[in-house]
Chains A and B, each alone.
Chain A
Amino acid sequence: MRSRLFAVAVAALALGAVAATAAASGQRHQANKLTVWLQVDAQSGWPDVVAAASKEFEADHPGANVDVQYQNWGDHLQKFDATLAGGNTPDVIEMGNTEMTKYMAAGAFADLTSFRSSFANSRSWLKGLAASGRYGGKVYGVPYYAGSRVVTYRTDLFKKARINRLPRSVAQFTADARTLARANRATKGFSPVYTAGTDWYFAMSFVYDYGGTIARTRGGKWTGTLNSKQSLAGLTAFKRFFLAASRASKTSDENHPAPYDVYSQGGAGAIIGPAWFSCCVGNKYKADTAQFVMPSHVTGKSMPGFLGGSDLAVPVTASSKSLAADWIKDFTSTAAERSLQAKGNIPNATNLLGSSVNERAAVRSWFVPTAKHWVDVENSNVLRTMLAQILTGKASVRKAATSASRTITSVLNGS
């Protein structure tokens, strides 16, 4: 029984123990072995592109071999932190564009500026994505691919409800949602437009659509601006739209459940999220599914959408910077980017852009504040908490936004 007590004590110490091993263990690297961390998206979506790049790389570097290890978005940073402490960092790592700044500021990545010209299409990299990989005028991240958010909808339900034209404004979309709700009264819990209550990517699109922002910087100091007049107008419009269109939980995020699961069970007339949602709408509705760009509150314009994306970076501890850069070069070649595009992603450069709904949605986009501590705002769920308060009516829009804004100011300026 006494060992139980020690087990508790040891558990309490786990944090310290991991950090403590930092000093103890050294670096272990096999010569010519390149370890690459990619997200599982590549494993399920385009393993062929990964294999082709590694094959090309191994052909150029006889004796070298590439070990691709797939990671999850949920915990890859914690794992990466642990390798920074204990050694065995990967040689190439895929980073979400919102995750880059904190690591660049801490000096976790190697400067790739001198390799820039060797990457295909580097002159016309997507602006938003290239910006997320640049810090202090140096290049640390190579744009990999991007993805925008669109409306995925049931053409059959729209037709049945006699909605013959796609909405050209939020007001029109809201009216359509009401029409859809009436036409599908028989389906219990039916959401005309299913969107999770705390899906902040969608909610912030309203803020940016009304000219608001999450935070602004002046002279190196950040200020949360969700309580500005424009931001408040955006949040109020979001609340109005959500209450009219979605029966989703007001406190859940966009992964619990995944919107496409609700859709594939027949519970939604439309869902909002990444364009690749079309993958998973279910066989039953596959033929009756199409996508359009979320309209703005201004008729005829599109609403700015969150431009998600990934960069490829080389940790400072990588065994060979030039080998790592070479693999990135093969993995972001024009041919590779074309293959990613064929899978529904946005390629990393403007000269490769086509006219898919995904790419049209990327024309008006917004991005999170490029502050060193932004990722902490995400991790402590400041925006999600605010949205849940607003939607459940626990706090007024102004009160919730003011409190969130104050938190954002203090977190971004680093305490």
Chain B
Amino acid sequence: MAIAAGAVPRRRRRLTWRRALRGSVPYWLILPVAAALAAILGYPIYSLFRLSLQHYTLFELIRHEGQWVGLHNFGSVLHDAVFWHTVARTVVFTIANVGMTMVLGTLVALLLVRVSAWARILVTAGLVLVWAMPQVVAVQVWYWMTNYQNGVVNYVLTELRLGDFFHHDWYATTFSQLGLVTALIVWGALPFVAITVYAALSQVPAELVEAAEIDGARPSRVFRDITVPILRPVLLILTSLSILWDFGVFTQPYLLIGQAHIHPGNYLMGVYLFEEGYLHSDYGRGAAISLLMLLMVAAMSVVYVRRMVKIGDVE
């Protein structure tokens, strides 16, 4: 945009109105985007904010009119121990998920570089299939596999003589429940990270690696001092995006842990929002929770946005 604005020819200086028009072209160009964002993002946020200041339950829903209660909803959420426990649990959950996704994704990408062409095609096809599987279908498949009564995981683990897993209940403890959700999410997120990192790896100049090797650098040293610095922008962006996705995750925990197992002791933020807002029909409180969640997500995305801006500057 900056280039377009700077390119306005100087000799038309005299025709000020025309110059003004030319100068405003960039703004006209971004107008559709700005308008679209205001419509699909601005207005809902405004409505959400209004809703969060109201007592709005089923009773008000039927009458289409809430009662103004000021910041009461925010106060009640912030004084709710369940909220803070959920935030803490979600943060730990997010760190575990993002960490595993990034490490495993990078390892798969490094593997892709080293294997033969046919193996690479096979692995890539597998990754794309995982990526293409709808979340709900994936959850159902995982649920079947980990089923208590006749799940294939228990069967295989027992056959492999890793212990007696007959009637092992994978949904018995919160740790085990969230562990399954983590496995499912990491599995689903691997393809995106692996393929993106693999693409970035092709940017690492072969001469540089070769030169380092001639100088006697071991592979681990090459990876640390050459590959990682070159990959850093991509890794940072992937990490930031993964944090945003995993923090607000809803489908996997809600469907996999199942409605009968969901209770305040295993809430993640997305589930907490749904339970408090929808199932308890307390929409005002739900709106307050989603605004607080939005603030947290926005704070976390600062890193991502700053990185994007920096990369833009370099180019």
Taking Cβ atoms with an 8 Å cutoff, the residues of A that contact B are: 1-2, 4-6, 8-13, 15-17, 19-20, 22-23, 74, 78, 81, 84-85, 102-103, 105-108, 188-189, 198, 247-253, 255-257, 261-262, 265, 267, 316-317, 376, 379-382, 384-385, 388, 392, 415
Q: Is the CB of B44 within 8 A of A13?
A: yes
Q: Are A251's CB and B171's CB within 8 A? A: yes
Query: B286 near A: Cβ within 8 Å?
Result: yes
Given A23-B64, A385-B265: A255 in contact with B260 (beta carbons within 8 A): yes
What A residues does B147 contact at CB under 8 A? Answer: 257
Q: How far does the Cβ of A276 sit from chain B's closest Cβ, in whole Å?
A: 20
- Fill in one digit per residue for B16-38: 1 if any A CB lies within 8 Å of its CB, else 0: 00000000000000000000010
Q: Kindly state whether residue B87 has any CB partner on chain A within 8 Å.
A: no
User: How far is B167's CA from A188's CA once the two chains are assembled, in angstroms?
Assistant: 10
- Complex Cα distance A380/B64, Å? 26
Q: Does B226 contact A (CB under 8 A)?
A: no
Across the interface, A385 reaches (CB within 8 A) one of B45, B149, B263, namely B263
Q: Does B287 contact A (CB under 8 A)?
A: yes
B137 within 8 A of A: no
Q: In the complex, what residues of A have CB within 8 A of residue B278's CB?
A: 15, 78, 81
Whether B241 is near chain A, meaning CB under 8 Å from some CB there, is yes
Contacts of B301 in A (CB 8 A): 5
Segment 235-283 of B: residues with Cβ below 8 Å from A: 237, 241, 244-245, 248, 250, 258-265, 273-275, 277-281, 283
Given contacts A15-B273, A20-B51, A249-B148, contact A8 B61 (CB under 8 A): no
Answer whether A74 and B259 are a contact pair too, CB < 8 Å, given A12-B290, A15-B273, A108-B58. yes
Select which of B43, B260, B277 is within 8 A of A384 by beta carbon.
B260
Contact A11 B248 (CB under 8 A): yes
Is B122 engaged at the interface, CB distance under 8 Å to the other chain? no
Check A376/B44 contact, CB under 8 A, given A16-B290, A107-B59, A189-B166. no
CA distance A317 to B62 in the complex (A): 9
Whether the pair A81, B290 counts as a contact (CB closer than 8 A) is no
Query: With A81-B278, A376-B280, A392-B172 given, is the CB distance from A252 to B61 under 8 Å?
Result: no
Interchain CB contact (< 8 A) of A379 among B250, B275, B286:
B275
- B146 vs chain A, min Cβ distance (A): 11
Is the Cβ of A17 less than 8 Å from the Cβ of B47? yes
Given known contacts A8-B297, A12-B297, A380 and B264 CB-to-CB distance under 8 angstroms: yes
Q: Are A8 and B260 in contact (CB under 8 A)?
A: no
CA distance A261 to B149 in the complex (A): 10
In the bound complex, CA of A255 to CA of B259 (Å): 11
B290 and A13 contact, CB distance less than 8 A? yes
* Residues of A with C-beta under 8 A to B58: 81, 84, 102-103, 106, 108
Bound form: Cα–Cα A342–B285 in Å: 47
B248 partner residues in chain A, CB cutoff 8 A = 8, 11-12
A198 proximity list for chain B (CB < 8 A): 260
Other contacts beyond A108-B58, A257-B147, A262-B149: 6, CB < 8 A: A15-B286, A19-B287, A81-B58, A250-B169, A316-B62, A381-B262
Query: What's the Cα separation between A317 and B280 when bound, in Å?
Result: 22
Chain B residue at minimal CB-CB distance from A381: B263
CB neighbours of B265 from chain A (8 A): 385
Q: Does B129 contact A (CB under 8 A)?
A: no
Kindly list chain A residues whose C-beta atoms are within 8 Å of the C-beta of B64.
Answer: 22-23, 85
B167 touches A247 (CB 8 A): yes
User: Do A19 and B169 form a contact, CB below 8 Å, given A1-B241, A84-B58?
Assistant: no
Residues of chain B within 8 A of A105, CB atoms compared: 59
Q: Is the CB of A20 within 8 A of B260?
A: no
